Amino acid sequence: MAIDKARLIEVVQNAGKSLTLQRCLIIETLAASKLPMSAYKLRDQINITQQNLNISTVYRVLDFWIGLGLIHKIESANRFMVCSDEHRHQFHVIQTCTQCENVRESCELASQITMQISHEFRALENQVIEIQGTCSDCQVNTDS
């Protein structure tokens, strides 16, 4: 997935922060990965070609992006992914395949939950809702 740099800059500036080299490096490396990555794998990937990032820096930068809703933590797998929903819904709904570890972020489900939730209950921003199951590719493989 290619990352929209203009949008990144906009979100970071709206939050009153700046886009540092490390922040850029981490979100771009994660965006280039097909599957969600652990913090350690992300660090190793970056350190092949770049500066020596230590793991606490990686976690700190991940937390920065998680706070802005541009990176999500997949709790069940302890891995990280770049948000693929450009509509900035209040919620992020992620379907994770327990067999191939593939993830799919559903903009459709996120907007439905946002519409359905009661106005009496004011939900926090940027919550990740994770749904575990089997993706369509893996369903085909087990059926045959």
How far is it, in rounded angstroms, from Cα 136 to Cα 139? 5
The least distance separating Zn ion from the CB of residue 52, rounded to whole angstroms, comes to 30
The least distance separating Zn ion from the CB of residue 41, rounded to whole angstroms, comes to 19
Residues lying near Zn ion in the complex (CB under 5 A) are found at 83, 85, 92, 97, 99-100, 102, 135, 138
Q: Which C-beta is closer to Zn ion: that of 8 or that of 135?
A: 135
Q: Which C-beta is closer to Zn ion: that of 57 or that of 111?
A: 111
The least distance separating Zn ion from the CB of residue 34, rounded to whole angstroms, comes to 12
Q: Which C-beta is closer to Zn ion: that of 54 or that of 132?
A: 132
Q: Which C-beta is closer to Zn ion: that of 43 or that of 92?
A: 92
